[in-house]
Structure 1
Amino acid sequence: MSTEETKALTSQQIESFAERGVLKLDLGVSADFLNNIVEQVQPLYEPSHQQNPLLATRVQDAWKQLDSVRQLAVHAKVLTALEQLLGRKPLPFQTLNFPVGTSQYPHSDSIHFNTVPAGYMVGVWVALEDIDAENGPLIYYPGSHKLPYYSMQDLGLEPGYPQYQAYERRIQDVIAEHGLQPELGLARQGEAIIWHANLLHGGAARKDVNRSRHSQVTHYFFEGCEYYTPMESDQAKRKRRKPFWIPKTSDFQLPPEPWERPLPVRALRKVLRGLGLADE
């Protein structure tokens, strides 16, 4: 990024992100491309949504099946902007696609994904159709990324996803304690909203439940870090992550799922002995 032409963001946009923890960016992608994602993802949603298209749901990592989803996750303007914002190479590792608003309670992504050093993770939400105040836009709290990175222990909770609802209640207390004021993430088709790892955000109420709200979120880590899941970590041990980075090209091979990997020889022999099919 040695010339102005290679940059996606102005210095004012970078300063705004540092202050607010959130930034809107027009990706300049065609409506046909985004409409194609909506159409291709639709069959991947669970059967209950197929029967009732207004039911809230999501599909994770559709990029593994749909190249259009992968292309949006590695969009050059997004990658350039993220490198400008954090000064390191961004590494996309997860996509989520949504057909309607989530009405999700506010949370910080840093409870799910964090790094050492802290803060090298962002979420990028792309409007696959126009999003207004009626069809369940994002809701976020500008400046909340400057709060501490709350762990489960900081909030008086045991680590683990069974405690997630209690975590959400604690975050509501944090919002009230600090007098944080929300904004709605209103966006036109093709606009992206980038948020800092620690920004409190969620889904606003769906005022018109008969409308869709197609969107795609991609989560990014950055190179040169240790990656872990704070929700499942404690002070003694971090639950480390070993992400498979979403590739920039379509000629890739996915690693085998854990259940597809061959058992180590010693483990296999132990299983066979347990079945009486091998000598002690």
Structure 2
Amino acid sequence: MGHDTTFKVDMNKWAQDGYLHLPKFYSHEFIDNIIENIERFRAEAGDEAYDPSGRANRVLHVHAGSPGIQKALLNPALNNVLTQLFSAKPVLWGTLLFDQGSEQIAHTDAPWFFVEPYGSMAGVWTALEDVHEDSGPLFLIPGTHKNALDVEGALKKNPELYAEVLAFRAKNISASTDPACWDLSKRVAEQCQLEWTNREGRQRFCIKKGDVVIWHQWMVHGGSPVNDVSRTRQSLISHWAANNSVAFDQHNYFLNYGRLDEKLALKLPMQDTAEGLYLKQKSHIISWVPPETFINTVEET
């Protein structure tokens, strides 16, 4: 499989850079097994598993619809690495499967997989094939995890929006239970997105089949432009959280920032298998949307 369960993470590098690149973490045989399970999943899902445009479709929570992929992700080698990063047991929260480059704008996962304490969530990017420079490689901006988003600071740049948020906060209610305010949380997310878009220092990862990249919950990352639409960039992304963390939804994150407590926490029922912990979720396909409209659908990711 590559690294065994005795692999030691350089925690100083993790703290400094906010990511790990693990070359040849998985053997080609292991990746081929994942691809076989993906093909089986698509065959069973039928026509809905395919994007009619033929480009950049994504499958959400494929681990929920494919026992083979779930078992592959809950492998001892990855479990070992994540356990070291979290100092706790890792829980498989969600998965994303891409055939081609996402061209996703710069963002962080934290608001949409928000957990406390800081650092108890991570994304894992697994290359299912060699990544060509023209296929829209993953990019990270090393070190950006050290500057967690200041929601209030971002809002103060838009006084009218800030006033609306303060009016909501005066109600002292949970944003997740009031659909009327969800549009407001989306507009706050759009304002916050501006804080990530223009960050400099992008590092592209033209990595090899079987390589793994792991990033911190606050790492700014995204997908580079696809220069050659005929090229695939098959990848499997998984999101993980520590089993002892507390999670909150994005609406409360953006509207009740700075005062989140357990009464606003999400209920994330964890299921246990012989391989490890995971969250059972519905598996479905969403066609990719243009980058400029991403922020309006991000709550689905």
What's the TM-score, normalizing by structure 2? Answer: 0.71
Alignment-derived partner of residue 229 in structure 1: 249
User: Could you tell me how far 1:161 is from its partner in structure 2?
Assistant: 6.5
Q: In structure 2, do the counterparts of structure 1 residues 250 and 150 end up closer, same or farther at CA, with 3 Å as the change threshold?
A: same
Number of the residue aligned with 2:36:
36
Instruction: Please tell me whether residue 190 in structure 1 is matched to residue 210 in structure 2.
Output: yes
Q: Which has the larger radius of gyration?
A: 1
Corresponding residue for residue 53 of structure 1: 54
SS of equivalent residue, structure 1 residue 216: strand
Residue 69 of structure 1: how far off its partner (Å) = 1.5
Pairing of 1:70-219 with structure 2 (within 5 A): 70-151=70-151, 153-156=152-155, 160=182, 164=186, 167=189, 170-174=192-196, 176=198, 180-219=200-239
Gaps of 5+ in 2: 156-160, 166-180, 283-301
Tell me which amino acid in the other structure corresponds to 1:27.
F
Note the alpha carbon deviations across 1:191-216, whole angstroms, 9 max, x for none: 11100000001111111111111111
Deviations, residues 215-268 of structure 1 (Å, cap 9, x unaligned):
1111111022211124433145565222244644489999798xxxxxxxxxxx
Identity of aligned residues (%): 23
**Partners of 1:224 and 1:144 in 2: CA distance:** 25
1:61–1:221: structure 2 CA closer, same or farther, 3 Å change rule? same
Higher relative contact order at CA 8 Å, sep ≥6: structure 1 or structure 2? 2
Taking structure 1 as reference, are residues 212 and 255 closer, same or farther at Cα in structure 2, changes over 3 Å only?
A: closer
2:169 aligns with: none
* Residue type at the aligned position of 1:232: N
Q: CA deviation at 1:122?
A: 0.3
Q: Which amino acid aligns with 1:155?
A: A
Structure 1 residues 89, 143: closer, same or farther in 2, change over 3 A? same
Which position in structure 2 is the counterpart of 1:241?
266
Query: CA distance change for structure 1 residues 97 and 5 in 2, over 3 Å: closer, same or farther?
Result: closer
Aligned-partner Cα distance in 1 for 2:7–2:65: 29
Given residue 249 of structure 2, which amino acid in structure 1 is its aligned partner? T
How well do the aligned residues superpose, as a CA RMSD in angstroms? 3.3
Query: Aligned partners of 2:57 and 2:111: how far apart in 1?
Result: 21
